[in-house]
């Protein structure tokens, strides 16, 4: 585990500061507004967004930032996608769970380099845990991930070794389990299904080896939902692709994850991708 990654340490610090803001709101009565159908927002989202963007601008001057609560106009969005390094910020992943007060939400900051996830931090405000990871090179070397507990102690993260889909546990959305994935689950023989909110929390549970696999059909998720979790998971030895097995492209032109997600402990990835190609086309 790399103990001297100053860039990653700074992003952990920023994400933890935002998590404190989120918990300040969580401890009080708050209102939930709707940005659109099925798209809630609260003061915690906006306040954390402001803190993170300001802190990133101060710590990494001139870097491009794409954050959920401050998306630029089309021309500026396109310009930011052209940058070599882009920070993707989800200040409160799992706003619905935040509003339901079930604890399944996260603060997420990811960094893409030349269109690929490179670094990520996912903080769980209710537990005080921070998961952080850096993706290694094409040869698989140099990557790492760790969990930092509330007291600041750290331990390396490593995914499970489950290699049979019939033995795998699948984590799925608590609020909108996609019906189109049911034939795929039947084909894979998956029977152990764990509901959970927040993409970040789901991927964190794969990185900590609590579960083995996550499937997302493609509706609703954006690049800030995946960049940080992808870096953490891959740093912990897992794999993260779209439903066709292709890498997630963080260079735009759009923000939507239209081709879904398959995230796993790595050992399951090829079998799940093959099944997805057969069932979903």
Binding site residues for Mg(2+), as ranges? 68, 90, 92-93, 225
**Cα-trace Rg, the chain:** 17
Which backbone phi and psi does 178 adopt, to 5 degrees?
-70, 125
What is the end-to-end Cα distance of the chain in Å, rounded? 39
Greatest distance between any 2 Cα atoms in the chain:
50
> Which residues are annotated binding-site positions?
68, 90, 92-93, 225
* 243 and 210 Cβ atoms separated by less than 8 Å: no
* 194 and 221 Cβ atoms separated by less than 8 Å: no
| The residue count for the chain | 281
* 106 and 124 Cβ atoms separated by less than 8 Å: yes
CA distances from 61 to 14, 64, 122 (A): 15, 9, 22
């Amino acid at each position: 585990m790399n103990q001297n990654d100053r860039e990653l340490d700074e992003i952990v610090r920023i994400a933890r500061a935002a998590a404190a803001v989120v918990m300040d709101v969580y401890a009080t009565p708050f209102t939930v507004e709707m940005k659109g159908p099925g798209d809630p927002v609260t003061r915690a989202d906006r306040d954390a967004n402001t803190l993170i963007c300001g802190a990133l601008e101060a710590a990494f001057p001139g870097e491009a930032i794409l954050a959920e609560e401050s998306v630029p106009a089309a021309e500026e969005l396109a310009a930011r996608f052209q940058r070599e390094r882009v920070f993707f910020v989800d200040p409160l992943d799992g706003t619905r769970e935040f509003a339901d007060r079930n604890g399944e939400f996260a603060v997420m900051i990811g960094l893409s380099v030349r269109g690929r996830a490179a670094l990520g931090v996912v903080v769980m405000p209710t537990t005080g845990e921070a998961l952080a990871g850096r993706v290694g090179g094409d040869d698989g070397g140099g990557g790492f991930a760790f969990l930092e507990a509330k007291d600041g102690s750290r331990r390396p993260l490593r995914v499970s070794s489950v290699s049979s889909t019939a033995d795998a546990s699948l984590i799925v959305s608590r609020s909108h389990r996609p019906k189109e994935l049911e034939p795929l689950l039947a084909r894979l023989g998956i029977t152990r299904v764990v509901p959970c909110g927040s993409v970040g929390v789901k991927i964190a549970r794969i990185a900590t080896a609590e579960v083995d696999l996550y499937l997302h059909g493609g509706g609703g998720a954006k690049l800030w939902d995946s960049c940080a979790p992808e870096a953490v998971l891959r740093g912990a030895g897992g794999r993260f692709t779209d439903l066709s097995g292709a890498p997630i492209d963080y260079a735009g032109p759009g923000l939507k994850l239209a081709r879904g997600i398959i995230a796993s402990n790595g050992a399951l990835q090829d079998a799940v991708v093959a099944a997805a190609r057969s069932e979903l086309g």
